[in-house]
Each structure stands twice: as structure tokens, then as C-alpha cells.
Amino acid sequence: MAFKPLTRRAFIKRNSLTGFGVALAPSVLTTIPAPAASATVLLAAPTVHSAAEPLALLGGKPLRAKDWPTWPIWKPETDEKRLLDVIRSGVWSRANVVTEFEEKWAATVGAKRCLSVVNGTNALIAALAQYNIRGGDEVLVPPYTFIGTVAPVLATGAMPVFVDVDPETFQIDPAKIEAKITPRTRAIIPVHILGLPANMTKILPIAKKHNLIVIEDACQAHLAEINRQKVGTFGDAGCFSFQNSKNLAIGEGGAIVSNNDAFMDRCFSYHNYGNPYGTVSGVIGIGTLIQGTKLRLTEYQAAIGLALLQRLDTETSTRNENAAYLKAKIRSIPGIVPYKLYDDVTRAAFHLFPFRFQQKAFKGLSRELFLKALTAEGIPCSKGYATLNNMPYLNDAFRSKNYQKMYPKEMLDFKGYVERNQCPQNDRLCNEEAVWLTQNMLLGSRQDMDDIASAIEKIYTQADKLLATK
Ligand SMILES: *Cc1c(COP(=O)(O)O)cnc(C)c1O
């Protein structure tokens, strides 16, 4: 589906055309007579519920009792045969099924090459190492991400430098990149966080101008697109994760994609002890060329990946459709600001559905209480990431012998580091505003999305009651 959600203004206009200019005051939804309300107010028929029903957190009946779609999805009829064949064959270490999975993943995202590895974290470590990122270098990263983006930078001995985010999109803010570039800066890791594409259109020219390696962290962004090109294929390398929660789930697993043959040959060697490109598992005594490690995927993991890959495209469409629908429904609720996508995004992955919660519009209700109340209504939700740019793991690295040898003292002073790496927009997202719904919820029905919107609205209309009982 081409992805053009209505602007807020267009939505209000569209809904006022029906004769009820109530989009700005969703509480009206529950107070005007039912027949009129069900006909017009929101894009779809509103869920039947009563504003008079007390909040579940205050002892009322939860708005929703039904379960959400579980994740991962496994269908024995279609998914099991290949896996059983592999298990019965006794060929479990890397062989043909892994190669087939790599070829399919490369074709799926539109990259020349793909190498599978044990997880997304090690995909990033391998990519950084094979672009020769080492001690003494700096790597630009966003603070709004999973630790799995930053730990790989430290693993190479390089110094992570945090670039603040654009709170509207939750992505690294291209306007803040150049100020962070120093003579040590060698690479940037744009993260397509939450499965929403980062602004590659702006990031790539900046990287080019400063001669930076671009390694995309697409660990949450399977099949997301900018101008119909899949993310992970814009930079010098793209890294994916197939961990259990991810949109393509294997349990554990990862991949590097790139069009750079020499780089991909080196990544292959690295993932197999540094032995020559193409050497198969179990071969010994052939001469080791580069410093490597062992990151090989197993045949049964690849069989699981191939099975789930068959549904990924359809599931991604469902997530996009439900996300657009839910976004259109909740954006009119005061204090609820859903994610924005950049104009050239043609598809997102929606590993998560994020919105910002603005306490003021909810009469001062804390995000913590909002999350509790929403969960109590039968809508599981969370606050998401904590700030990554000031945690002790950084100082632990800085105190190591290798860092002490590779960087001047001033760079390793933790207080000074935290000061230089402040990201106030990220602080606000992490500490005050971000709310997440998980991708499996977006695999549900329209009715499921209606439930989410109705529950948020129920809390909005009764926020004062929550405050009174605090
Ligand atoms: C999951 C994830 C990783 C790491 O992938 P693993 O397979 O869990 O090692 C890295 N970056 C981001 C943004 C992720 O979501």
C-alpha cells in the first residue's frame, strides 16, 4: 500500500464534513447519541463502549478481554517439512540451506550479497570490523536505540558518539550530525529504529561529504522502504536481526547485506575463523588468512527462516494497514502524537507502533499511570528505551586497558563524555513521552485497532479520576 496517511488537518476536515466537527474533542464520541456517533465521527465505526464504564485500573471492567496475536507464528502444515528434513539429514552445521536462505534474503531486500551470522549484534561487529573500524576511531550513533547498536561499536574498540533524535520520527536527526564529526569520525550507524526508516536521503550526502562508512542498523526494519528501495541497501552495509521478537523471527540469527564483493568476502572469512571465502564447515588445514571468529548460522535455523520468510511480506502489509488506520484514529485525541514518517517512505516495518504521550493534555497524568491504565484495559504497552548515552557500560569500556592506550585522557573522562553526548530530545522521549505497542498487535483486526483507540480515549476522558485516586 502506498503510504499516505491523512494530515491532521485533513483528518479533521474530513470528519467535520460529516456534520460533526468533533475530531478535536474525542470525548464527544462517547457522549453524543449512539446512532449519530457510529455513523460518522472516526474513520471506522467506533467501538461500542460507554464512557460511564469505570477505568479498569479503578476496578471497572477492562475494555478488552481478548488475547492479542501471539509471536512468533508457526504453522506446522506449511512450516515444518523443511525443518524436519534438515533435522533428519544430520547436516546441521552451515551448508546448502544456509546458502539458500542468504540468497533469498539478498533477493528479498535487493542486495547483491548476504551473509548470515549468529545474531544482529555480531552482524554489526563484523561489518564495522571489516570496514576497519578500530580503536581510536569514532562512530556516530543515535541514542534512541537498542543496546545492540552501541555494544558493537565498543567491541571494535571505537568510541560511540551520540547524535540526538528527531522526536517526531524517533530517528537520528540529520541536522545534528555534522556538529558531531571530528577528525576521528570514521563511520555512522543510522538505525531504522522501531522499523521506521531513518532519513537516508539526508544522511547519505553528509556521509559522502565527510568520507564516512555508512552501516545501516536495519535490525528492526525488515522490508521497510524509502522510495521503493529496501532499507539496509542504502549504505556500505546493512545489518539485520532475526531474534525471536523481530519481524522475521528465527530465535537468534542475523545478516549482513552489501553490494561490495571484497567486503562481503572478508565478512565471510571473518565469520568462519578467517579461513578463505567459501570454505565450508568442518574443513581444516587450509590456511587462515585474516583475524576472524566463528559466527555461522545452523541449517535448522535457516530452515526456520525460510519458512517464516514466506509470510513476511503479507504480514508487513497488514502491519502497515493497521498502523495507518490506528494512527488516523488516535491522532485526534489531545496529548497523543503518533510517529511521523519521512515523505519518501513508501513502506515501514512497524516493529513497534510508537506515539508520544503528552502529560499536559491528560490533566497532568503521568506516563507511568497512563501505561498502567492502558494495560489494565487490555492493551499491553510500554515506555520503551532508557537513555543509552549515559549508562555505566560506557565507562566500563573507557576504563579498560585498550581504551586507555587508544584515546587521550580527556576523551575517557566519563563526566565530560556524558556532558558532550547530551541528547535532550532523546531524554524527553525516553523519560517522558514515548509509548510503544508491539508489532504482533498490528497483525490483528480493525476491531483490535478500534479497541486500542477506544481504550486511550477512555483514559483521556477519565484522566481526572485517575489523578484523584493517586
Ligand atoms: C535486535 C537489535 C539489534 C541486535 O540484534 P540481535 O539479533 O538481538 O543481536 C541491534 N540493533 C537493533 C536496533 C535491534 O533492535
In a domain, 398, yes or no: no
Distance 167 CA to ligand 1 centre (A): 21
- At 24, list the grid cell: 478535536
Domain final residue pick, 259, 281, 305? 305
Residues 224 and 247 in one domain: yes
Residues 243 and 298 in one domain: yes
Q: Which atom of ligand 1 is nearest to the CA of 254?
A: 7
Angle at 8 between CA 426 and CA 164, to 5 degrees: 15
- At 332, list the grid cell: 485526534
Residues 67 and 160 in one domain: no
124 closest CA partner among 115, 113, 137, 111: 115
Separation CA 376–CA 353 (nearest Å): 19
In a domain, 163, yes or no: yes
Phi, psi of 139 (to 5 degrees): -130, 125
Residues 251 and 282 in one domain: yes
Separation CA 465–CA 444 (nearest Å): 30
Ligand 1 pocket test, candidate residues 118, 121, 154, most atoms within 8 A of CB: 121
How many distinct helices (H) and strands (E) make up the chain? 17, 15
- Encode 258-270: b = buried (16+ Cβ within 10 Å), e = exposed: bebeebbbbbbbb
Residues 298 and 163 in one domain: yes
- Which are the contacts of 211, defined by CB distance < 8 A and separation ≥ 6? none
Q: Which atom of ligand 1 is nearest to the CA of 245?
A: 1
Q: What is the pLDDT along the chain (470 residues), one digit of tens a residue?
A: 344 444 444 433 333 333 333 333 333 333 333 333 333 334 444 444 555 699 999 999 999 999 999 999 999 999 999 999 999 999 999 999 999 999 999 999 999 999 999 999 999 999 999 999 999 999 999 999 999 999 999 999 999 999 999 999 999 999 999 999 999 999 999 999 999 999 999 999 999 999 999 999 999 999 999 999 999 999 999 999 999 999 999 999 999 999 999 999 999 999 999 999 988 877 777 889 999 999 999 999 999 999 999 999 999 999 999 999 999 999 999 999 999 999 999 999 999 999 999 999 999 999 999 999 999 999 999 999 999 999 999 999 999 999 999 999 999 999 999 999 999 999 999 999 999 999 999 999 999 999 999 999 999 999 999 998 75
Ligand 1 pocket test, candidate residues 128, 189, 220, most atoms within 8 A of CB: 220
Domain final residue pick, 285, 305, 325? 305
Under 8 Å between Cβ of 412 and 403: yes
167 closest CA partner among 189, 142, 135: 142
Going by alpha carbons, the residue nearest to atom 3 of ligand 1 is: 148
In a domain, 394, yes or no: no
Ligand 1 pocket test, candidate residues 124, 128, 149, most atoms within 8 A of CB: 149
- Which are the contacts of 320, defined by CB distance < 8 A and separation ≥ 6? 1, 3, 347, 348, 350
Q: In 10 A of CB 369, how many CB atoms?
A: 18
In a domain, 124, yes or no: yes
Distances (CA, A) of 213 to 182, 206, 236, 381, 413: 14, 11, 6, 36, 27
Q: Which atom of ligand 1 is nearest to the CA of 351?
A: 15
Residues 95 and 49 in one domain: no
- Looking up cell 449512539 gives 34
Separation CA 95–CA 108 (nearest Å): 20
Separation CA 118–CA 269 (nearest Å): 14
Residues 198 and 282 in one domain: yes
Distances (CA, A) of 97 to 297, 299, 446: 10, 6, 37
Ligand 1 pocket test, candidate residues 118, 144, 241, most atoms within 8 A of CB: 241
Q: What domain range includes position 443?
A: 8-73+312-385+429-468
Residues 337 and 462 in one domain: yes
Distance 215 CA to ligand 1 centre (A): 14
In a domain, 399, yes or no: no
Under 8 Å between Cβ of 171 and 165: yes
Residues 271 and 167 in one domain: yes
| Domain of residue 174, CATH code | 3.40.640.10
Distance 149 CA to ligand 1 centre (A): 7
Question: pLDDT tens digits for 394-420?
Answer: 999 999 999 999 999 999 999 999 999
Beta strands 159-162 and 138-141: pairing type? parallel
Distance 99 CA to ligand 1 centre (A): 22
Under 8 Å between Cβ of 331 and 452: no
Domain final residue pick, 255, 275, 305? 305
Separation CA 283–CA 345 (nearest Å): 45
Separation CA 16–CA 173 (nearest Å): 35
Ligand 1 lining (C-beta closer than 6 Å): 119-121, 145-146, 148-149, 191, 193, 217, 219-220, 241, 243, 254
Q: Which atom of ligand 1 is nearest to the CA of 145?
A: 13
Helices (H), 90-199: 96-109, 120-130, 147-155
* DSSP SS3 for 259: coil
Q: Which atom of ligand 1 is nearest to the CA of 121?
A: 9
Residues 323 and 257 in one domain: no
Under 8 Å between Cβ of 303 and 80: no
Question: pLDDT tens digits for 231-263?
Answer: 999 999 999 999 999 999 999 999 999 999 999
* DSSP SS3 for 346: strand
Distance 351 CA to ligand 1 centre (A): 12
Single-letter residue type at 97: V
Q: Would you say the C-alpha torsion 305, 308, 310, 315 has a positive or negative sign? A: negative
Under 8 Å between Cβ of 234 and 213: no
Q: pTM, whole model, 2 decimals?
A: 0.90
Distance 19 CA to ligand 1 centre (A): 48
Residues 17 and 91 in one domain: no
Structurally, the chain folds into a number of domains equal to 2
In a domain, 2, yes or no: no
In a domain, 390, yes or no: no
Distance 299 CA to ligand 1 centre (A): 21
Going by alpha carbons, the residue nearest to atom 14 of ligand 1 is: 219
Residues 64 and 213 in one domain: no
Distance 148 CA to ligand 1 centre (A): 5
| Domain of residue 15, CATH code | 3.90.1150.10
In a domain, 415, yes or no: no
Distance 274 CA to ligand 1 centre (A): 24
- Encode 321-337: b = buried (16+ Cβ within 10 Å), e = exposed: ebbbbbbbbbbbbebbb
Separation CA 211–CA 159 (nearest Å): 17
Helices (H), 284-382: 299-330, 367-376
